[in-house]
């Protein structure tokens, strides 16, 4: 910087600097507009230089922050080791004190040997071999040379989702892997355990689980994409596991690094010389000079990417990458370009990891699908549309599952189903709209969304069936709940997504079971009433009761019922036939609410079986009855069933289904009553 610039900088940095006085003096001293323009340019240059210095300081501080965090992590591990060493020293001193106080020299020597074990490599391997003999399926583990035992002990495994105990295990920590073996319930000789899993030390991470009584003394092992949780016997054993696992992993990393360094060849490598006289270099020797990488923004690009990632400015980072790709698009690939690309690719990997973490279900699921738009759009710009699609759908699946789990089961079942459908189908609709917006230019991802929608529908049906069918609700309640689900599912057709068939195919098994169960209930109730049948007219006692019955039968579709009513509240039908008619028509209406093509024969056969029970009872009573008056009354009930009830059932079924019920028509023709001599025993053709 020139002397004039230094003076200007010192003036502006002065604590007593007054902008108004400075501008006033500058205006008085300047000869004209040209002097003011030159002075303005000097101030602008100083501002640009200051901005560059600030940016470099930010990057420098950011790097120092990362290094400080690493040092803190190392210091923390060293403190753990120091604490462990102090604990061992304390136990050793206690054992020495006990040994000195003991009068038995033989016992003293044994305690000293226990306090100061000196295991050789061969002894460790022999110990591991003897332990693995107790593991079923673990004979091949010792095939790796140099493998020996570090630590082992009993643990209890818990389920990651609901923290329920799964099984007892025995863990063997070796210098390069971790073996998990389960306890055998029926031991065979020396074999106590069964091989379960073997994990390389580099393939998993160990995480401490905070105590939350009664869940305590636990730690988690993370193996992408799964994880397992184990519980130690007490806090001391847990601490030993964490420390020894961490130390063993570090030792393996150090050993592998030394091995790689030793394998680096030290002999000079001769360059291959082509013997073909016609080989000509595709690029001229001075091609590297053709790519100008001395631009300031290219020189500072890696640092700028680090700053953008640290400040979570994902859009800015991707903009810089697009700018670089556009600049290098038509440029030759030189050695310097390759070096720049390698630096940038490392930043791209870091940026991708951060964006993937933003979309992971472990992050907060609040904010709906729109909260994922930022990370998804940047992953797509980075050319990771498939990964973005997968992570977006996993995030939304976790959000939907969490919303369903948090829904409280209270009040009537129908009220819960209304809430469940509202939450699920609204979430599905919002997810579909957001997916269409984010992946508008990636039509190949739409098939993944359809597959995801079907899996989400299975999750919904599981919760739906558990509440509606497993709790043995009435058929009318189940029909209303299914109707609500169908209506909500129709909303998805607004965006061109029709999952009605999927919903029906997932519900068909439960609905079929519910229809058959309710059919059996009606048949049992009808048989019970038939066993007590006296074939007497109904006396409803009051005109109000008669009017109510007329309304009920009119609602069922029995328009000619009034011709069977007489004066003084009498009905010229049996109580059994009237009760059967109401119950059967109710079953038909609820069945039509549940109907879809896969249930056609189930509903039809159920109706046929129910009708047969009533018709056969009337036919049997008509043939067995000897009293002419009762026989005529039974025939009147049979006529009501044949001429009134069965046609209404056929017509209503055809209206609800859209095609005639041939089986019901054949049944009505085969049970046609005829006017006969009351003395005859033949009544039905």
The average pLDDT across 27-47 equals: 79
Q: In the sheet that 165-174 helps form, which strands lie side by side, from edge to edge?
A: 135-136, 191-200, 177-188, 165-174, 149-158, 226-231, 218-223, 205-209
Residue 198: partners with Cβ closer than 8 Å, 6 or more residues away: 141, 177, 178, 179, 180
Q: Which helix (H) or strand (E) holds 468?
A: helix 446-468
pLDDT at 77 (0 to 100): 65
Q: Which residues contact 184 (CB under 8 A, 6 or more apart)?
A: 136, 191, 192, 193, 194
Mean pLDDT over residues 442-454, rounded? Answer: 84
Q: From CA 77, how far away is CA 243, in angstroms rounded? A: 8
Whether the pLDDT of residue 277 is over 70: the answer is no
pTM of the model: 0.50
pLDDT at residue 602 is higher than 70: yes
**How far is Cα 152 from Cα 150, in angstroms, rounded to an integer?**
7
Backbone dihedral region for residue 229 (phi beyond 0: left; psi -120 to 50: alpha; all else: beta): beta
Q: Report pLDDT for 142.
A: 72
Three-state DSSP class for residue 195: strand
Q: Which helix (DSSP H) or strand (DSSP E) does residue 515 occupy?
A: helix 500-531
What secondary structure letter does DSSP report for 493? G
Residues 111 and 97: their CA atoms lie apart, in Å, by 11
Predicted local confidence at residue 310, as pLDDT: 82
**Mean residue pLDDT across the chain:** 79
Place of tokens 């074999």: 191
- In the DSSP assignment, the letter for residue 104 is -
What residues does 230 pair with on adjacent strands?
157, 219
Q: How much is the pLDDT for 155?
A: 92
pLDDT at residue 102 greater than cutoff 60: no
Q: What is the predicted pLDDT for the residue at 393?
A: 86
According to DSSP, the β-strands at 226-231 and 537-539 are: unpaired
Q: What is the C-alpha separation between 241 and 676, in angstroms, rounded?
A: 94
Encoded tokens for 503: 């919903």
**Residue 411 region, left (φ>0) first, then alpha (ψ -120 to 50), else beta?**
left
Q: What are residue 263's DSSP bridge partners? A: none
Q: What does the pLDDT average to over 101-116?
A: 50
pLDDT of residue 126: 64
Secondary element (H or E) of residue 181: strand 177-188
Secondary structure element (H or E) that encloses residue 173, with its range: strand 165-174
- pLDDT value at position 107? 53
pLDDT band for position 256 (50/70/90)? Answer: confident
What does the block give as tokens for 155?
């643990």
Cβ atoms 371, 347 nearer than 8 A: no
pLDDT at 684 over 60: no
Cα-based distances in Å from 213 to 161, 210, 216, 218, 219:
17, 10, 6, 11, 14
Query: Has residue 680 got a pLDDT over 50?
Result: no
Strands (E), 606-658: none
In this predicted model, what pLDDT tens digit does every residue of 376-411 receive, in sequence order? Answer: 888 888 888 888 888 888 888 888 888 888 887 777
Residue-level pLDDT at 283: 43
According to the per-residue pLDDT averaged within each range, which of 273-287, 559-573, 595-609 is highest?
A: 595-609
Compare 280 and 433 and report the one with higher pLDDT: 433
Give Cβ neighbours of residue 129 (< 8 Å, ≥ 6 apart).
142
Which domains are delineated in the chain? 1-76 (no CATH), 121-259 (2.30.29.30), 296-487 (no CATH), 508-671 (1.10.357)
Least confident among 255-269, 321-335, 433-447, 603-617:
255-269
Residue 204 has a pLDDT of 84
For the residues 28-42, what does the mean pLDDT come to? 78
Cis peptide before 526 (omega within 30 of 0): no
The structure tokens listed for 416 are 């819960």
What pLDDT, in 10s, does the model give residues 41-96? 888 888 888 888 888 888 777 777 777 877 786 687 678 678 778 877 887 887 77
Half-sphere exposure of 492 (CA within 13 A, CB side): 25
Q: What is the CA radius of gyration of the chain?
A: 42
What percentage of the chain exceeds 90 in pLDDT? 2
Alpha-carbon gap, residue 465 to 416, rounded angstroms: 12
Quote the pLDDT of residue 681. 41
| Residue-wise pLDDT tens digits, 464-517 | 888 888 877 788 888 888 888 988 888 888 878 888 888 888 888 888 888 888
Mean pLDDT along residues 237-246: 90
Banded model confidence at residue 171, pLDDT cuts 50, 70, 90:
very high
């Amino acid at each position: 910087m020139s002397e004039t610039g230094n003076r200007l900088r010192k003036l502006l940095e002065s604590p007593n600097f007054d902008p108004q006085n400075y501008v006033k003096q500058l205006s008085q001293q300047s000869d004209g507009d040209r002097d003011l323009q030159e002075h303005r340019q000097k101030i602008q240059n100083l501002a640009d230089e200051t901005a560059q210095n600030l940016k470099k300081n930010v990057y420098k501080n950011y790097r120092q922050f990362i290094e400080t965090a690493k040092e803190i992590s190392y210091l923390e591990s060293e403190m753990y080791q120091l604490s462990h060493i102090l604990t061992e020293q304390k136990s050793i001193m206690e054992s020495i004190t006990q040994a000195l106080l003991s009068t038995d020299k033989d016992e003293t020597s044994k305690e000293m040997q226990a306090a100061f074990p000196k295991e050789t490599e061969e002894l460790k391997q022999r110990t591991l071999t003897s332990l693995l003999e107790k593991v079923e399926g673990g004979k091949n583990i010792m095939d790796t040379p140099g493998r020996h035992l570090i630590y082992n002990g009993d643990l209890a495994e818990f389920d990651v989702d609901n923290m329920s105990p799964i099984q007892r295990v025995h863990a063997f920590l070796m210098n390069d892997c971790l073996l998990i073996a389960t306890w055998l319930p029926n031991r065979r000789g020396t074999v106590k355990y069964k091989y379960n899993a073997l994990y390389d030390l580099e393939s998993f991470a160990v995480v401490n689980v905070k105590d939350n009584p009664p869940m305590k003394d636990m730690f988690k092992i993370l193996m992408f994409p799964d994880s397992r949780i184990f519980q130690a016997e007490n806090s001391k054993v847990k601490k030993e596991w964490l420390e020894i696992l961490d130390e063993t992993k570090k030792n393996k990393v150090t050993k592998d690094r030394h091995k790689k360094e030793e394998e680096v060849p030290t002999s000079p490598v001769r360059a291959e010389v082509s013997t073909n006289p016609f080989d000509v270099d595709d690029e001229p020797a001075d091609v590297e000079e053709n790519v100008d990488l001395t631009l300031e923004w290219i020189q500072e690009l890696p640092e700028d990417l680090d700053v953008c990632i640290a400040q979570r400015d994902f859009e800015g980072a991707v903009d810089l990458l697009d700018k670089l790709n556009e600049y290098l698009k038509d440029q030759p690939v030189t050695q310097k370009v390759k070096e720049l690309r390698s630096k940038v690719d490392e930043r791209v990997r870091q940026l991708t990891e951060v964006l993937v973490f933003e979309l992971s279900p472990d992050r907060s699921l609040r904010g709906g699908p729109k909260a994922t738009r930022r990370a998804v759009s940047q992953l797509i710009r980075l050319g990771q549309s498939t990964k973005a699609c997968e992570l977006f759908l996993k995030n939304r699946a976790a959000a939907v599952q969490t919303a369903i789990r948090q829904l409280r089961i209270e009040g009537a079942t129908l009220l819960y189903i209304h809430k469940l459908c509202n939450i699920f189908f609204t979430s599905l609709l919002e997810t579909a709209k957001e997916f269409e917006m984010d992946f508008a230019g990636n039509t190949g991802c739409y098939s993944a969304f359809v597959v995801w929608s079907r899996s989400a529908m299975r999750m919904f049906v599981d919760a739906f069936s558990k509440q509606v069918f497993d709790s043995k609700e009435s058929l009318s309640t189940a029909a209303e709940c299914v109707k609500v689900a169908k209506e909500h599912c129709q909303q998805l057709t607004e965006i061109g997504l029709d999952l009605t068939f999927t919903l029906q195919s997932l519900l068909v098994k439960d609905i079929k079971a519910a229809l058959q169960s309710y059919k059996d209930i009606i048949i049992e109730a009808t048989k019970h009433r038939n066993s007590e049948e006296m074939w007497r007219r109904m006396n409803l006692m009051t005109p109000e009761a008669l009017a109510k019955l007329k309304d009920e039968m009119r609602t069922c579709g029995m328009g000619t019922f009034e011709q069977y009513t007489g004066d003084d509240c009498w009905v010229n039908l049996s109580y059994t036939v009237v009760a059967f008619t109401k119950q059967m028509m109710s079953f038909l209406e609820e069945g039509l609410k549940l109907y879809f093509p896969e249930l056609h024969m189930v509903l039809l056969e159920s109706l046929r079986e129910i009708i047969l029970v009533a018709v056969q009872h009337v036919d049997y009573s008509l043939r067995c009855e000897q009293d002419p008056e009762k026989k005529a009354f039974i025939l009147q009930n049979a006529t009501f069933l044949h001429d009134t009830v069965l046609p209404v059932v056929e017509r209503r079924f055809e209206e609800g289904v859209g095609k005639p019920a041939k089986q019901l028509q054949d049944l009505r023709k085969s049970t046609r009553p005829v006017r006969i001599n009351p003395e005859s025993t033949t009544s039905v053709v």
